[in-house]
Structure 1
Amino acid sequence: MSKKYLLILVLIFTGGLSPFAAAEEMTISDLKFEGLQRVTLGAALLSLPIREGDVVDDYEISKAVKKLYASNHFESIDLFKEGSVLIFKVKERPTISAIELTGNDKLTDEQILDSLKSSTIKVGSSLDRTVLSSIEKSLEDFYHSIGKYSAQVETIVTPLPRNRVSVQIVFREGVAAKIEQINIVGNKAYQEETLLDLLTLSESGGWWDLFADDGYQKQKLTADLEVIKSYYLNSGYIRFQIEETQVALTPNKKGVYVTVNVNEGDIYKVENISFIGDLLGHDEDIKKLVALQKGDTYSASSVSASEQSIRKYFGRLGYAFPEINTYPDIDDETSSVIVRFAIEAGQRGYVRNINISGNTTTKDVVLRREMRQMEGGWLSSSAIETSRTRLNRLGFFSAVDVNTQRVSSDLVDVNVNVSEQASGQFNFGIGYGTESGLSVTTSVQQNNFLGSGDRLGFAISIDDSDRNVSLSYNKPYLTADSVSGGAQISYNKFDASAANIADYTNTTYAFRLSTGFPVNEVNRLGFSTGWENTNISDLDTDESYYQLDNFLSIYGIDDDEDAVFNDFDITSSWSRNTLDRGQLATQGMSNSLSAKVTLPGSDLQYFKIGFDIRNYQRITKNGEWTTLLRGSLGYGNGYGQKDGEDQILPFFENYYVGGYRTVRGFSSNTIGPRALYTDDDNDDTDAIGGNAKYSLSAELIFPTPFLDEAYSSQVRTSFFVDAGEAWDTEFDYSSFMSECNTDCDNITDYSKPGNIRVSTGTQLTWVSPLGALVFTLAVPLKEYDGDDTEVFSFNIGNTF
């Protein structure tokens, strides 16, 4: 090609208006730009691959113009020559001054602007009209994929002074095309209705079918086709194929007809199962992990489950990256298949580093001491999973992510990333009862004191009758072996007359030391010893109730005489915890058994035994739907004699039932035996508790309606049914009735169980920065005259 024609091509490409004569070569004496406004001369020259003094030909000049266009600064470039001077007359691309979106309902402004930004269309950048056109098309393609075939996207560019433009994107979304009909052709084994029931998409059900998903979406159809395929593959149709899918659009673009052509094939049976590769001597164990047996109908899901089980098995042995592949050997003549598992365990992986991130408050050591995967040890998938569970149980984190990162063929790093949540709790409770009116409680507790994982608690409870102050500190890791230690000191003053029970005051000082020992990962033993000083003063035995009189008579306490008791006790406990999370668990069980007994020689000799259980069972795999069964049992009594009389459980150690922790719908601690008087009015008296109690609860936990998915791990909604009661095995009903002189007709016998209360309702729990907020609406299903019911309660504090 002659240089003349080459130069013509250069000018055509560059848009030059004044061509210069072809030349063999030229030495550039100067480079000039005309039309620069926003772009500096230095920036323009940097985009050129030629400089003053360079000897260039036409080809090199054409490459220089291409480089200028590639800089994305210029909309047009005209090239001129004056002697040995090259003059570039440019028109800069306008700067985007504003972007306006109108008519977009399906896509949010943030989604569109983020997409534009990734394509360099943003305020302050240069406008590339070709990119803008491609964005228009991609947006329309998106709307078509969700069934809005009449959607249009138009871009309006408005010039502004100083070479600026305003970009307006106008959306005309239109309506989504409805699925008029779905036809499945070629199915013989299953009726069309059976297959259609598997789909998320459905035919238009008319205005009366409000819940029909009849809007066509390409992505949903693709997913539905995979569901049909999996259904057949799991039923033995290993040769099943979807041969063709036709989507026909109605002329008005408001409806679609979907036709799916399938080829089922035959049902295939498993002829044999074999293994290829080195099973490292674990042949028998691995065979037991296979969900298929000889003679079974072939199932793709069973094959996948077997692969996963084998992979986890090797993972527990430290082989971090085993290769498990399945090769079905299909015999079409006999409709049988030999399932061959190819296993390559690879090298055993070792952990180089454990990297922790996301903990801004909690110290690294708090997380590391919960890790059961050790640095320098071989990688174990079970140890990783146990570590994740233990971190979740702490209750310090809203999310825990543990993953492995391969460093070399036999080395991995374990990356632990956590999202912290409020571990301090300000407990503030407000309740309103039909009988009790307004009630208030408050306390403060920090479960992760200064990020150390230690628990510091300070509680104050004040009402008309009760003053309670306590300070506690617990160190879960007193030693490196997870031996815990703690202490608690408390003060309580109870004015019984303000509670309409009797005219006495109970002042108690207490001190307790505790420790705990791990048995294994889920079981723990605890022991504590304590001292309590109890002072009963301001007694007026002339107006005391029957149950109190019984207690006072045992210890020979007379009118206007203070009673002081000094007691030393020991407490032992066993706990088992397999919950998946410390707060708002979705799977697992928590059990605790405790026993307390005062030491012989104490002024009061008694014992108490309690058992609590919580059991979560997931209904759905992700735990959005979960059941919770909860129960609590308690029994206490005295042992030994005092001046020839059997000792009993002190009335101030009684069990109480009622409130949002036991039986919702009833005021706290109001279910159970009531104060009874032989000579006074027995109407509307207060509950005084008993020496035995139980409470049961069943809950259905479900996703909170209208809640953004981002908050699902912090909010929980449930329906519940609660039941429970308390009674006093030492109460002599016959003896009381023989002495009773006033209002004795409707006295309930609380010496044995049988006075159960039942309630039902709904509860919403939100783990907020202040602590867990619990809102409860409950309706009693079984109650008795004089019960303090509580339809609504609101609490800030611990959850169960």
Structure 2
Amino acid sequence: MSYLFRKAFLMSLLFAGFSFGQVIQRVEISGAKYVPDEVIRALIKAREGITYTPDLVREDIRRLYRTGFFDKIEVREEREGDKVILYYNVVDLPIIYKIEFTGNRKIKSEDLERKIGIETEVGKIDIEELTKGYTSSPAIEEKVEIQRRLKLGRVLSREEMEYIKRKIIEAYAKEGYPNVVVSYQLVPKKGASKLVYQIVEGSPEYVSSIVFKGNKTFRSGRLLDQMETKPPSLLAFRLHPPFSEEVLKDDIRRLEDFYRSEGFLDAKISYNITKKDSKYTVEIDIYEGKRYKLDELKIEGNTLFSYNELVGKILKKNKGGYYREQVINDLIENIKKQYSSIGFLNVSVSKDEKVDSEGKKVNVVLKINEGEPVYVDRIQIRGNYETRDYVIRREMRLQEGELADEKEIERSRTRIFNLGYYEDVSIQPLPSEGKRWDFEVNVRERFTGQFSVGLGYNQVTKVAGFVSLRKGNFLGTGDIAGISVSYGSRYKDNSVSYTKKWFLNRPMDLTGSLYDRRIDYTTYTVSRTGIDLILSRELAEYWRVSGGFSLQKVRYSNISPNASPVVQQEAGTRQSRKLILGITRDTRDNYLFPTKGALTDLNYSVAVPVLGGTEKFNKVVLSHQMFMKDNIFDTGLILSLKGVVGVVEPYGGKTVPLDERFFVGGDFTIRGYKYGYAGPLDPNTNDPIGGNRELILSAELNYPIYKNILYGAVFYDTGLAANSWKDFKPQNFRGGYGVGIRFITPFAPIKLDWAFKTKKVPGDTSRSKLHFVLGVFF
């Protein structure tokens, strides 16, 4: 051992012995403005009465710095014999009550807040509201944890301040501002501080064009769909698309993943950029390589289903027999769906792929672990802050103690959603080791209490303003109460209504309504004042029957001298007393915008001469709608077909009232025609007078253009209203075809159709017509 080493060793022993011989007499804390002294004492290990060591103090300093709450930490010691007094002097960071952005012209402050995911004012982020109605998942928990850490009203660490700075830079880079400079400063206030981020945006950079080279299999548009970087486009209102090389790198990775998922396992993609002024030309070079085939698919471990049952038609849709990752994933999902339909929710499927690089083939083996059937133990309801549990439970087709059938789970979800009280409904199993699992129903309630002021429009009523107070899910019982006042230049509808759901604790709905309505047609006005009482009952899972009565006073006024004689004979007031019966079968998956299922309605009403009634007629209307989504090519197209047939006949020597006849033509029957002009017309005035028969056939194809908000449509309607079945000859039918859009807004759905008629008629000689409906589609 060298002399120097022995000397250092002896000195360290002496120092250690001296240190360990001293006891901490007192710990003093000073300098903290925002962090309480007791919090600091809880963080440090130095305590009165314990042995002092330098390592103890060094560890305390590191621990305090790691909290991020302190800008500066100093520790001073005083010795009195074998006693040590420690003085911890800190400069703590202030509590932040607000975050502001300055210099941000391109991105508004509220957009920055949304992009970054931070709270800029105390209490602005509601964690409970953020997570309401969602089941736990790692992604959601991570998001919530970040938002918890960035809630204000507390100290922000330097690390968190830098995190916000990085997120601002990332947000600007995605908007085409890669040279943005961000700094921040604390602006002291009494008791708390404001954190201000100063942003120097710099010059924007844009994409001038994107050129693909080497893409032989997929067109450029298909590849652009995989990318966030986009070229300029007038049709997409994208005049100056932003350029970010970091985003482009992510796009290249997405393109590589896309090619590999389509069987191009050897694909390689690179890019080259050239800059002129502030605009970039992006050249993407693609080496596709040879496409791999799906050589063999084996399924092992299946004892309850055959190979063909598990594969179904999925492989037949696999054009060319290539290896496609989506096809394999669809097969796995189909296997799980089949097993879940008989209660085997814990089935698992593992995938074993063997790649033959020389033969350009892939062999896939799907190994099934069937597990055992699962039964429902408990059903828990979450997120129903307003709704009472029984309102949800009575719609459930999944019951405690029963087999957990996937079809019943999905049907339960549909029934709960179709109540109209929830933005989202999910039913999730809570797996356990045994055969009995709990299930959790999570709902996200919508605002069912609505005070609405707005406008509605259709071809008959024209523009009408309305004030409506409607309370769905009244007092959390599921009942619906409402009062509305609607006025327009040609329309009035004032009503009070109440629907008692599950009347007498049975699957029955009792609806009562009082109303006063008026519609001004071209040559006359019809007013109705009355009361309706309807009781409907669920007969089976998809079937419902209804019955009730309607008492009305009907008045025809403001009849033009030029009106048809059919209209003029209606002048005056009459009393209407009707019995109403109906039966409905509804298998639609969504009542707002169905993608599959059907709706069938058979309605019968008879006017009877009781309680002062003056009308005598029978009226029957049968309608059927079908909705089908493209599951073959997965284009997202939705085909809807509709057929309506109706008959009304008088009895007892009476005639059919004008407003009970069928007026075909217009927004909701045959588009391209004015209201009623696809039916009988008065030969003298060319005014529609309605028919005693109607037949309408419609086909419409909808395609989602943007999420579930904007849809494009093409359609064809045909049919006729007439007074005799003999008139329903092909040469007499009226038809309309055209294109349209469907826009689902938070306020009301908007439907716009441009329709062309197949046959001009007297009084309606235009070639085409624009149909605009605000407030309702059907």
What is the TM-score of this pair, normalised by structure 1? 0.70
Counterpart-to-counterpart distance in 2, 1:690 and 1:7: 114
Q: 1:215 aligns with which of 243, 248, 253?
A: 243
Which of 350, 353, 356 aligns to 1:328? It is 353
In structure 2, relative to structure 1, the CA distance for the partners of 1:60 and 1:698 (3 Å cut) is: same
1:396 deviates by: 3.1
Q: Residues 280 and 133 from structure 1, CA distance in 2 versus in 1: closer, same or farther, beyond 3 angstroms?
A: same
Structure 1 residues 592 and 205: CA distance shift in structure 2, 3 A:
closer
One of 659, 663, 668 as aligned partner of 1:656: 663
Q: 1:637 aligns with which of 635, 642, 649?
A: 649
Q: Distance in 1 between matches of 2:523 and 2:219?
A: 72
Give CA deviations for 1:70-103 in whole Å, capped at 9, x if unaligned: 4543503142324234342624134266644234
Greater alpha carbon shift after TM alignment, 72-81 vs 417-426:
417-426
Matched residue pairs, number?
726
Would the aligned equivalents of 2:299 and 2:307 in 1 still touch at CA under 8 Å?
no
Measure, in 2, the Cα distance between the counterparts of 1:163 and 1:425: 40
* Partner deviation per Cα, 1:325-380 (whole Å, 9 max, x = no partner): 22134455655544322000223222222222334444432322221111222222
Q: Deviations over 1:776-800 (max 9, x none)?
A: 687885765556999787765x542
Q: For the residues of structure 1 that align with 2:493 and 2:192, how far apart are their CA atoms?
A: 74
User: In the alignment, what sits opposite 1:28?
Assistant: 24
Residue 745 of structure 1 corresponds to which residue in structure 2? none
Structure 2 residue aligned with 1:15: none
- The structure-2 alpha-carbon separation of the partners of 1:146 and 1:260, relative to structure 1 and needing over 3 Å to count, comes to farther
The letter for the 1-side match of 2:724 is: T
Which residue identity does 2:101 align to in structure 1?
A: L
CA-CA distance at 1:206 after TM superposition: 10
For the structure 1 residues 379 and 250, does the alpha-carbon distance in structure 2 shift closer, same or farther, using more than 3 Å as the test?
Answer: same
1:80 aligns with 2:42: no
2:304 aligned counterpart, secondary structure: coil
Gaps of 5+ in 2: 1-7, 121-145
Q: 1:291 aligns with which of 303, 308, 314?
A: 314
**Greater displacement, 459-468 / 525-534:** 459-468
1:727/1:752 contact within 8 Å kept: no
Task: Please give the alpha-carbon distance, in whole angstroms, between the structure 1 residues aligned to 2:51 and 2:226.
Answer: 70
> Who is 1:108 aligned against?
112
Whether contact under 8 Å (2:580, 2:603) holds in the other structure is no
State whether structure 2 residue 190 is matched by structure 1 residue 172.
no
Alignment-derived partner of residue 91 in structure 2: 92
Contact 1:587 1:617 in 2 (8 A): yes
| Structure-2 separation of matches of 1:548 and 1:210 | 51
Q: Provide the C-alpha distance between the structure 2 equivalents of 1:495 and 1:204, rounded to a whole number of angstroms.
A: 51
Q: Does structure 1 conserve the Cα–Cα contact (< 8 Å) formed by 2:677 and 2:761? A: no
Partner of 1:581: 590
SS at match of 1:398: strand
Instruction: Give TM-score, length-normalised by structure 2.
Output: 0.72
Match of 2:367 among 327, 342, 347: 342
SS in 2 for 1:310: helix
Q: Is the 8 A contact 1:146 1:219 kept in 2?
A: no
Check if 1:275 corresponds to 2:299.
yes
The answer to whether the aligner puts 1:518 opposite 2:548 as a matched pair is no
Secondary structure at the aligned position of 2:589 is classed as coil
Shift of 1:303: 1.8
Q: Partner amino acid for 1:579? A: R
Residues 334 and 753 of structure 1: CA distance in aligned 2, closer, same or farther (over 3 Å): closer
Residue of structure 1 in register with 2:623 after alignment: 612
Counterpart CA distance in 2 for 1:262 and 1:332 is 16
Partner letter of residue 349 of structure 1?
A: V
Alpha-carbon deviation of 1:311? 0.7
Corresponding letter in the other structure for 2:304: G
| Residues 1:26 and 1:165: Cα distance change in structure 2 (over 3 Å) | farther
Partner of 2:332 in structure 1? 307
Cα 1:327–1:478 shift into 2, 3 Å: same
Shift of 1:316: 1.2
Contact 1:633 1:694 in 2 (8 A): yes
Cα distance in structure 2, aligned partners of 1:192 and 1:514: 58
- Checking the alignment, whether the CA contact within 8 Å between 2:61 and 2:73 is kept in structure 1 is no
How far apart are the structure 2 equivalents of 1:227 and 1:74?
Answer: 45
Q: Paired residue for 1:556?
A: none
* Contact kept in structure 1, 2:290 and 2:360, CA below 8 Å: no
Contact 1:695–1:723, Cα closer than 8 Å, also in 2 = yes
**Equivalent residue for 1:400?**
425
The answer to whether the Cα contact below 8 Å between 2:671 and 2:771 also exists between their aligned partners in 1 is: no
Q: How does 1:408-487 map to 2 (within 5 A)?
A: 408-410=433-435, 411-422=437-448, 448=473, 450-454=475-479, 477=502, 482=507, 484=508, 486=510
Which structure has more relative contact order (CA 8 Å, sep 6+)? It is: 1
| Alpha-carbon distance change, 580 to 634 in structure 1, aligned in 2, over 3 angstroms | same
Code of the residue aligned with 2:179 in structure 1: it is: S
Structure 1 residue 691 corresponds to structure 2 residue 692: yes
8 A Cα contact 1:458 1:472, kept in partner: yes
1:390 matched residue in structure 2: 415
- Give me the whole-angstrom Cα distance separating, in 2, the residues matched to 1:381 and 1:507: 48
Aligned-partner SS, 1:55: coil
Q: Which residue of 2 aligns with 1:590?
A: 599
Distance 2:86 2:750 in 1: 76
For residues 524 and 222 of structure 2, the distance between their equivalents in structure 1, rounded to whole angstroms, comes to 69
Equivalent residues in 2 for 1:3-14, closer than 5 Å: none
Assess, with a 3 A threshold, how the Cα gap between structure 1 residues 788 and 387 changes in structure 2: closer, same or farther.
farther
Specify whether residues 215 and 699 from structure 1 end up closer, same or farther in structure 2 by C-alpha distance, changes over 3 A only.
Answer: farther
Question: Residues 287, 722 of structure 1: CA spacing in aligned structure 2 closer, same or farther, 3 A cutoff?
Answer: closer
Rounded to whole Å, the distance in 1 between the matches of 2:313 and 2:459 is 58
1:174 deviates by 3.9
Quick one: which amino acid aligns to residue 81 of structure 1? E
Q: Deviations over 1:80-127 (max 9, x none)?
A: 324234342624134266644234445614544728986968876557
Distance of 2:697 and 2:630 partners within structure 1: 21
**Counterpart Cα distance in 1 of 2:346 and 2:282:** 46
Give yes or no for the alignment of 1:355 onto 2:387. Answer: no
Unpaired stretches in structure 1, ≥5 consecutive residues: 11-20, 553-559, 677-681, 732-748
Distance verdict in 2 for CA 1:362–1:695, change over 3 Å = farther
- For each residue in 1:256-307, what CA deviation from the matched residue of structure 2 results, as whole angstroms up to 9, or x when unmatched? 7666575735633524x43322x24323564543734899444332222111
SS, match of residue 417 in structure 1: strand
Find the aligned partners of 1:569 and 1:119 in 2 and give their Cα distance: 60
Asked whether the equivalents of residues 523 and 562 of structure 2 are also in contact (C-alpha less than 8 Å), the reply is: no
Q: CA deviation at 1:597?
A: 5.8
The verdict on how the C-alpha distance between 1:472 and 1:628 changes in structure 2, with shifts beyond 3 A counting, is same
Q: Deviations over 1:370-413 (max 9, x none)?
A: 21111222222221111112223333333222222224443232
Distance 1:412 1:320, change over 3 A: farther
Q: Is the 8 A contact 1:472 1:486 kept in 2?
A: no
How far off its partner does 1:687 sit? 3.9
- 8 Å Cα contact 2:71/2:92 also seen in 1: yes
Distance 1:697 1:344, change over 3 A: same
Compared CA separation, residues 169 and 350, structure 1 to 2 (3 A)? farther
Worse-superposed segment, 156-165 or 61-70: 156-165
Cα 1:119–1:148 shift into 2, 3 Å: farther
Q: Which has the larger radius of gyration?
A: 1
Do the aligned partners of 1:96 and 1:167 also contact (CA within 8 Å) in 2? no
Summarize deviations over 1:622-678 as a string: whole Å, max 9, x none.
998755554433222347x86xxxx764555322345644456877667644567xx
